[in-house]
Amino acid sequence: MKLKQLLCDVLDTEVDFEINGLAIDSRLVQAGNAFIALQGSSQHGMAHVDEAIANGACVVLYEPAGLIMTNLDELLIPHFPVPDLAQHLGKIAARFYDLPARKLAIIGVTGTNGKTTCSQLIAQALDDCGVIGTLGWGVPGELSPTLNTTPDALSIQHMLAQFVSQGKAVVAMEVSSHGLQLGRINSVNFTGAVFTNLSRDHLDFHGSMEGYFQAKLSLFKSSNLKFAVLNADDQAVLTVRNHLAANVKCWTFSTKGRFVEGAESIVAKHIVMSADGIRFQVIWGEQIADAFTPLVGDFNLENVLAVFAVMLAMGTSFSVAVANLGKLKATLGRMEKFGGNHKPTVFVDYAHTPDALEKVLKGLKGLGQLWVVFGCGGNRDTGKRREMGHIAETLADQVIITDDNPRDEIASEIINEILMGCQSQKVKVIQNRKLAIDTAIQQATKNDCIVIAGKGHEEYQEINGVKFPFSDQAAVQHSLASWNH
C-alpha cells in the first residue's frame, strides 16, 4: 500500500512510496516496513528506532507527545510525527489489512469477570468462530499467544485479517477496559457486545470505579452494534442498557428470575449444582427446556446463559442452543477441574479480584469442606488485598495464603496486607506456592473441595522482574498423584 493511501485523513505527506508491512516492535521490522513508534507506559518506541532502521524500516511514524530526542534530523529515512498516534493506529492498520472487521461478525465481551470464559465458550458454541483474548488467539485448543487480554490495535487487525483468510465467519473477542481506553479496538466494528458484570478491578489504572465503568460503557455506545447481551442480575444493567442506540436489540440473562422490560430475557430456574455440572430449566418467552452444562459454579451459570443469549442472537434455534450447552468444556484455568473419584476435587481458577473469589467460593459451598489457596499480585490494586482476605476467611473452611506474582513488591508485605482482613485461626501462611498447594491437597479428605485461585492459565511466577516457570495445574496433578488416604 502507498504511504499516502495508508495515511489519508491522518497525515498529509509530500513523499509517497510503497509500504509492505507495519511493525510497532523494532525487533519484528522487515525490509520495506513502516515502523510505528508509540509512547509506551515506561519507554517511547523511538528509543529503538535505530534497530528498526537497521532491520529495514523505510519510514517512521511516531507519537510526538512525550518524545525526548534531539537528533531526529539525523535519521536516514523519512519520519513523521503523528499526534495521538495510538488512537489512529486502529484506522491505519485496518486500512492496511483491507478492513477485515467488516467481513466478520465480531462479538466483544467485557466486564470485570467472565470475559475469558464467555469468549472461549462462544467460540465453542458457534460455527467457524475464532477467539482473541487472555489465553491467546485462534480457535479453542489451537491458540497462539497474545501479550494482553486485548492486544494492540495493529495485532488485532492482523489477527482479524488472518481469520478472514481462514474462512472464519465470527470472532469472539475479550475487550478489556485498558483496551477500550487505549484505543486498541478502534476501527473494530462489533456486531454484538456482552456485559458480564462490574466489580472492583484495575483502579491502579483508571483511578476510580466511575472511570473504570465509563471505559467499559464505551463498547456499548457504538451505532454499529446489532445486539447486546447484558447480565440482568448486575446492578449496572440498566445503565448499560440506557447507553444502547435505539437500533440495538437488547438481550438479558438472569439466574434470579429477573426480566428486563423491552429486552429478550433469558432466565434460569430450578437450578441444581453439583461437582459434575449444573442442571437447570431455561426460559425464553414461551419456550422452556431442561438444560445441563458440565461447567461448575453458579457464576459459570451466568457465563453459560450469556453464551446461550449470544447463540440465539446469532440465529441459532432454541433447541440447538440448549443442546450445545451440554457440549461446552471448561476453559484453561477457569474452574478447571482435577481429582474426584475418591480423591479431593480441585479447581484451578483465575479469580484474582474480590468479586471473582467470592463467586467461586460461594459457587462451591456445600460440596464438602472447602479449602482455598490464594495470594495477590504485586504492583496492582493494593486496596483489594484485605477485602480478599476477609472473603476467603468468611466463605472457606480452610485458608492458605501464599505468593501469587509478587513482581517488584516484597511478597511477605503483600501477604501481611491480605492478613489484615483475616482474624480466625483457620488461616495459614505458606509462601512457597507449590508447597501451599501440596499441603492443602495432602491434608484434604476425598470429600473435600479445594480452590487454587489467582493464576489460572499462567505458566510462571513473576518475582523481581523475572518470570520463573510455574503451573498451578502441574502442581495440582503432581500432588494428587501421590495422595493416598
Q: Could you tell me the CATH number of the domain that includes residue 189?
A: 3.40.1190.10
Asked if residue 330 is part of any domain, the answer here is: no
**Residues paired with residue 133 on neighbouring β-strands, in sequence order:** 136
Residues 389 and 447 in one domain: yes
Determine the 3-state secondary structure of 138 from DSSP: strand
The whole-angstrom separation of Cα 462 and Cα 470 is 9
What pLDDT score was predicted for residue 200?
A: 55
Q: What is the CATH number of the domain that holds 433?
A: 3.90.190.20
Asked if residue 92 is part of any domain, the answer here is: no
Instruction: Give me the domain span that covers residue 466.
Output: 336-482
Residues 411 and 273 in one domain: no
Residues 319 and 294 in one domain: yes
Q: Is 447 exposed, middle or buried, given 0-12, 13-18 or 19+ CB atoms closer than 10 A?
A: exposed
Longest dimension (CA), the chain: 78
pLDDT digits (tens, 9 = 90+) for 135-180: 999 999 899 999 888 899 999 999 999 999 999 999 999 998 888 8
Q: For the chain, how many helices (H) and strands (E)?
A: 16, 23
Residues 79 and 108 in one domain: no
Residues 101 and 188 in one domain: yes
Q: What is the CATH number of the domain that holds 17?
A: 3.40.1390.10
- pLDDT category of residue 212 using cuts at 50, 70 and 90: confident
This prediction has a pTM of: 0.81
Residues 104 and 148 in one domain: yes
Residues 80 and 122 in one domain: no
Q: Which of 30, 51, 85 is the last residue of a domain?
A: 85
C-alpha cell at 482: 501421590
Residue 21: closest CA among 100, 79, 96: 96
Close Cβ partners of 190 (under 8 Å, ≥ 6 residues apart): 106, 107, 108, 219, 222, 224, 225
The whole-angstrom separation of Cα 424 and Cα 394 is 9
Asked if residue 395 is part of any domain, the answer here is: yes
Residues 279 and 407 in one domain: no
Number of domains in the chain: 3
Residue 201 has pLDDT above 70, yes or no: no
Determine the 3-state secondary structure of 177 from DSSP: helix
Q: Which of 37, 53, 85 is the last residue of a domain?
A: 85
